Amino acid sequence: MRILVVEDEKKVASFIKRGLEEEEFSVDVAYDGEEGLYMIETNTYDLILMDIMLPKMDGLEVVQAMRTKEINVPVLCLTAKDSVDDIVSGLNSGSDDYLTKPFAFAELLARVRALLRRGTKERGAEVNYADLRLDPVAHKVWRGNNELDLTAKEYALLEYFMRNAEQVLTRTMIAEHVWDYTFDSFTNIIDVYVNYLRKKVDREFDRKLIHTVRGVGYVLKED
């Protein structure tokens, strides 16, 4: 899943990004409110971690702007302010949860997972397509009765395919969602990983699901 961290303290942003990436998330970072809002409007995220005290545009203004534009991605606000009024203001702005600084990374991770579970429950806890079944909480995938042994990146790639089944996904779209905002989509690493994934998903089955759209990208669909 892809997360945006909007945090102006670069050491804090780096700490959060590194920790989340170790937990197999794809992470982008914005360092001010205006940049954060632009990235939210131009990319697809599963969760946003939003600092409140930001330059150019504060975090609550960003959240309010998101909700006005009907961007309903879950938001976890991060702030040093911990009064009841501050918490109420954060929640009333449209954020989904509130965590005060300083915090232990374990608590941040628990809240991230809780918000993502809430989101996946709204879409169905499991994701299914053809005879593929994906459990986003346990990070497991089956084809038929066979559990697939996937690396973290292969899992993220297949989850993106399954959540966008029968839609052609360009290499740029895949790069930005499964890797990160700065990934060079002109390298062949995407094709390499799709090939790895195809061997695990399709090689032992007569019905192939991962298809190349020549000159464009890839699509998950039944023949």
Options 3.90.960.10, 3.30.465.10, 1.10.10.10, 3.30.70.20; CATH of 127-220: 1.10.10.10
15 touches 109 (CB < 8 A): no
The answer, yes or no, to whether residue 5 has pLDDT greater than 50, is yes
Which tens digits make up the pLDDT trace of 133-173?
Answer: 998 767 789 999 999 999 888 988 898 899 888 989 888 78
Largest CA distance in the chain: 60
The answer, yes or no, to whether residue 32 has pLDDT greater than 90, is yes
Nearest to 57 by CA among 37, 72, 83: 37
Which tens digits make up the pLDDT trace of 210-222?
Answer: 999 988 889 999 8
Domains 2-122 and 127-220 are alike in CATH topology: no
Query: DSSP class of residue 174?
Result: H
Nearest to 44 by CA among 172, 203, 193, 190: 172
Nearest to 81 by CA among 96, 65, 60: 60
- Dig out the tokens for 208 from the structure: 């192939």
- What is the domain class of 2-122 according to CATH? alpha beta
Domain ranges within the chain, ordered by starting residue:
2-122, 127-220
**Average pLDDT value for the chain:** 84
Query: DSSP class of residue 53?
Result: S
